[in-house]
Structure 1
């Protein structure tokens, strides 16, 4: 079985596309894993800021959590409208483009692409961070382990949507069931202890500080905690992945995802406050995440702790799957609109957009290496892109309802959808400003550079495609005046089966064929052998049947230039034959094994590239391959031909 089939599975046909559609049971882990995984570090991200004021920070953790859950609910209600209005997917990009214009749509698209890249980098780093919490001696290997997780995710997603969704079902459902059970047990213990439970494993010490809580600190904690909202957009982008009724199934998954997120986020904030579990830096010794401290405090360091840690590691390691589902489809939409190379719209062997998957992998690996795989360094970049996309999507939906009042007329409460989307746009817009203000110096400035950079790139690609279309469009009949056969030039090194194949084909195309040989340091005897072979094997046989024989032109090359002299010869012929097409027929050896290419100089490839770079419409390049099959054997040569046969090919 080929290695590609072993790693990626058998190639799927276009007719099997419907079999790759998913339902809510598979869609929940496939598209919700990123949003659900953010609950593992959302509380920690907020606490990381609140620890600046020590124990006092826990007193405001729950209010901040409720504000974030309220924003989460508003975003969910807004996207419930979007998946119905835009059942073909696209999310913020499609909504903003159709209702706000091209540039707002491109900003939304670039924001989503940036967010997806960060999802992979942060998810992998967080997964490794969970592992390091249990095994601190692995801390020096943060970056290599994160890269391995990214490559593993790449291979899984190249196997196809349906298989990747099924692969993530066990980690997602296992994480949810166990964590909700631990949260319920922790709340029960807290209530039984009158609000002051005794931890089975003591959390880390909280550093004392004299700082006080201010509005800036609260805003920073809120913006950090907003990392828990990432991933919700993926459901709106992935509506085409669902089986019919696609919009209804997407709505069910969206409600399930946000509902579970809210329960976990609120529960963890409550327990973090009850057990006083501080946030630590991954660069500190004995690093432990807030979540691992909470679980250890509730159930101890026994089997239950390690079972949960296994599911947490699996969830975090695979949380990037949402990005692997969304990034390639976002690239496909941009490629469809000529803002990315059209290759991004092509599906691979498993009906996935494999070019987008590989590009996402490359960008995520670069970020992990650049930031050392440290979660606290990557988080400031997070949420900027997704909230920009949220805001543009919601205001785009407000415009959508204005443009399509007939859709509102069918609703039970016609005023409600527009109101929900307007409130969503205002709330997420304010959140975007807060996130940019509080995280600018920590790294949000990089997002402000990357997003416009993406937009500039998109517009440049669009201009190129417009120019190509303008230059290649034809609205006239074919030119019937210039139908003369081309003047054919065949570069040859010696008389061989490759040369015979190329000459034989050339004389069927045109009566005017010339063979050019570049003598790069050969002696007179070698040139004599070549002329003798040419007369014996080419000129005499063709003249015998009344065909015009190609002339052999020998050009000396005292400085061993070959390709340059062939180009000079072609340009000279173009000047002496104005208005006539010139075709260069390049004989090329095609090896049977890939590694045999290393044994040849590949001069034919270089010659073709040089000819194409001339940029002349009347100079054409034709490749004539000669395949190196094992069963082929060269004809036995006489003793006087041994010198000739040692000459290398083109």
Structure 2
């Protein structure tokens, strides 16, 4: 609002003033004949103002209800402000005979001619700098909304959607839905899409040597990446039979495997949870052949405790915890297997470095190489 007020002040003051407050004729230099290329470049630079219009279109879901009506009013207000400021500045350029000059913007010349070199001149310049900084942030502000829309259509990973079609998309909408008066709406949106296409061609051509080639290269790669993401989601959806009603669920005989290495309260709580999960519970202890005395002592402790749960001892020649368990799970008859991994949740975050991370390693291997349901049970020390 400060920028809009400043520009309107410049326009009003300039239209009222009969003579420029400061002579700007000495700043006129290097005038050239206006040709087609110059007009196209000016058109390309002017298209930057359209980013505000597109930002409002992308942000329709962010408006309060009624969203569409509020967004339409915002678009009309923005268009009116742009028209008033553009026509006003153009009139002042004609009135004060302002022309391009090296090192001084046309807006600065118009402001100096209207308001002089006083404090108001610097207020307008500062407001312009702030506006340009905010305009550069438009892409960052609009990207989350655009990413949400793309993610809904399975063109980006779905975590981008944790947050109104436009132009050519609106044409498809009107043609597909065909409500009352859809023809003129489709024609209007189609005309807008055509203008956008022409603007894109002009901007690309005029800016190609100034870095526009990067967009020409990057955009097809981005589209190809989105197509790959879309196909991936389509395959997952087909595998999950999305859109189809599945058959009723049926209970399946299940096995709960609990890795254990000592008779402790943690082992007791893990077995108690396992007994409520499945039909059969098996405690699995993995040990090394050289640790025979330790393995025998563990079995004696287990028999003395007698928890009423079957104990299976597996021997790992290379001291690997995951390989023996994976081999065992491949041979069990139950079609549905749970693996319950009991872990200690430390009282303080820094104490995590004291843990051996065996549970994380085992869980990662099980999820990657088996269809077992991995449950990690936390035992809180505090």
Map of 2:178 onto structure 1: 404
Map of 2:204 onto structure 1: 436
Map of 2:257 onto structure 1: 488
Cα deviations across residues 75-94 of structure 1 (Å, max 9, x unaligned)? xxxxxxxxxxxxxxxxxxxx
TM-score, normalization by structure 2: 0.80
Give yes or no for the alignment of 1:567 onto 2:322. Answer: yes
Secondary structure, aligned partner of 2:379: strand
Alpha-carbon distance change, 225 to 596 in structure 1, aligned in 2, over 3 angstroms: same
More helix by share: 1
Map of 1:596 onto structure 2: 351
Match of 2:99 among 242, 264, 276: 276
Rounded to whole Å, the distance in 2 between the matches of 1:239 and 1:430 is: 25
TM-score, normalization by structure 1: 0.50
Map of 1:461 onto structure 2: 229
More strand by share: 2
Alpha-carbon distance change, 549 to 229 in structure 1, aligned in 2, over 3 angstroms: closer
Larger Rg: 2
Match of 2:316 among 555, 571, 585: 555
Higher RCO, 1 vs 2 (CA within 8 Å, ≥6 residues apart): 1
Secondary structure, aligned partner of 1:550: strand
Give yes or no for the alignment of 1:586 onto 2:364. Answer: no
Return the offset for 1:569: 0.7
Matching of residues 363-374 of structure 1 within 5 Å: none
Secondary structure, aligned partner of 1:226: helix
Rounded to whole Å, the distance in 2 between the matches of 1:471 and 1:401 is: 32
Q: How many residues align?
A: 375
Map of 2:152 onto structure 1: 336
Map of 1:505 onto structure 2: 273
Give yes or no for the alignment of 1:624 onto 2:377. Answer: yes
Rounded to whole Å, the distance in 2 between the matches of 1:204 and 1:579 is: 92
Give yes or no for the alignment of 1:470 onto 2:238. Answer: yes
CA RMSD of aligned residues (A): 3.7
Return the offset for 1:612: 0.9
Map of 2:121 onto structure 1: 305
Rounded to whole Å, the distance in 2 between the matches of 1:572 and 1:220 is: 69
Rounded to whole Å, the distance in 1 between the matches of 2:88 and 2:231 is: 51
Secondary structure, aligned partner of 1:406: coil
Return the offset for 1:252: 2.2
Rounded to whole Å, the distance in 2 between the matches of 1:249 and 1:208 is: 46
Match of 2:168 among 389, 392, 395: 392
Contact 2:326 2:366 in 1 (8 A): no
Cα deviations across residues 507-548 of structure 1 (Å, max 9, x unaligned)? 55455523323459xx86xx7466435533x322226xxx24
Cα deviations across residues 399-451 of structure 1 (Å, max 9, x unaligned)? 8269626325xxxxxx8656644544444433332222222232223223333
- Gaps (5+ residues) in structure 1? 1-172, 281-287, 347-352, 354-388, 409-414, 630-650
Match of 1:514 among 275, 283, 286: 283
Cα deviations across residues 275-299 of structure 1 (Å, max 9, x unaligned)? 335365xxxxxxx655445434543
Return the offset for 1:324: 5.7
Map of 2:45 onto structure 1: 224
Alpha-carbon distance change, 574 to 450 in structure 1, aligned in 2, over 3 angstroms: same
Matching of residues 198-217 of structure 1 within 5 Å: 199=22, 208=30, 212-217=33-38
Map of 2:306 onto structure 1: 542
Secondary structure, aligned partner of 2:22: coil
Secondary structure, aligned partner of 2:316: strand
Return the offset for 1:613: 1.1
